[in-house]
Structure 1
């Protein structure tokens, strides 16, 4: 009887973090749905799901493999272990990035139902990174910018004369 009681007690001690997380989720869900339109919350959740799925594909478990093999390798071979873990993940990540760059409209349509949402996500990321960028609404300040971000601009000849590091959209 005493062993069973200790087992149940230790079971609850190990699972206390999950119980607290469930309680926090239970409390914050009504608050979140009150503050955010459910449609927008669903779009954000869809983006998060797609990002996490692609991140897991890109990582290929390399981080776990690196940690597992770290102490099994000699100290002078650990540098090679890092590169052996990084290169495949980095290569797959670059390939995924290129695929997203080429098929961004289709991906946006699949995830959000239209192709305008991806533009807003990219603009939000650029704002968070504090990168100067120009959209089609602000073509007069284009010479100060490093990035030109546009979708379906009528006056496309204006864009051809500017040098920029990154151009996203359709000419």
Structure 2
């Protein structure tokens, strides 16, 4: 049952982001040689799905370890820790946008005037995230905590590294390939 639970959870992670990754690659934000912008006749970005399948298979190999319950708990806790990181970044971005674009028209506003409401909501969000992250780390053994932190750091740093090495040629090459018949 644990295997089925993780397999179903990870299957949504494999198929869900393929369209988003294809659009990001079309915009030249990923190396064109990866061909993530290409898709088949039914709209599946095959290179993205294959890459994700390889990564998911590597995670699935963890189930070969003797204690399947601890592996399942470690993977679930890692997912929770990654979500905490993402929501923390969203909270920081919320405050940053309030100061960078104070007069931007928005469909709704937190607080009627000023940024006090935004700070209060973001503060509560950050407090909740910190409590979830700390209790998750405290409740796991050292090896699981290190694994969770390493995976989170890897997933946080990878886009930053790609952004650092981004080249204008990626967009030019992707657009040329798409115009020449690349799906």
**TM-score bracket for the superposition, by shorter chain length:** 0.3 to 0.5
- Higher Rg of the two aligned structures: 1
Using the size of structure 1 for normalisation, the TM-score is 0.33
Using the size of structure 2 for normalisation, the TM-score is 0.32
- Relative to its length, the structure with more strand (as a share) is 1
